[in-house]
Homo-oligomer: A and B are copies of this chain.
Amino acid sequence: MRADAVRTRKQLLDAAAELFAEGGAEVSVAEIAERAGIGKGTVFRHFATKEDLIAAIVGDLLDDLVDAAEKRGSLREFMVYGVGRLADNRALCDVASGSVRHPDVQAGVERLNEAAQRLVDRAETREGVTGRDVVLLMTGVHQAAAPLRDAEPELWRRYLGFLLDGLLDTGSSAPHSRT
């Protein structure tokens, strides 16, 4: 790959990551190209399809979450981190809601489910809770708080608290204790 192509590709990926984070996967290719300072045709030289570009961006986000699942100690910590990421990245919300059907993305979600499962195995949760449940419920918590994202950006923490009290089977802290 030629040196200038590498530079161009980086500009493209940076712009796409930024715009997808702000506006979700519906951001137009033209807009991304403009932000990257390149032509629209160039976008399709690097990625055959818009979906492929989305998959490249979202794949990194999912990898980051998998890392978090493996490095963070507790299920609770992981969920706090995960919902936080959902809250500041709309593209992640799009994959969570199933509107991104790219195979790479689905594989990434599968890896995330498995990583979450490992956390569940180590945690004391209600009977029958799976890693997949945890991942889905994180998106639910975020979606609930999303309409007030601007007015109350920290609302999801409260909602995640409600859920965790119903989900975790902690012998220590009583479920309904404040914060």
Contact = CB atoms under 8 A, between A and B. Distances in A.
Contacts of A163: 162-163, 166
Nearest to A167: B162
Interface stretch (A49-57, A63-71, A143-151): A143-151
A30 B22 CA distance: 31
A98 B167 contact: no
Contact of A143 (B143, B170, B175, B176): B143
Given A126-B162, A159-B140, A162-B126, A97 B169 contact: no
A24 B65 CA distance: 30
Given A126-B176, A140-B143, A165-B175, 20 more contacts: A97-B143, A127-B178, A133-B158, A136-B147, A136-B159, A137-B159, A139-B144, A140-B141, A143-B143, A161-B166, A162-B163, A163-B166, A166-B175, A168-B176, A169-B176, A170-B176, A171-B178, A174-B175, A175-B175, A175-B176
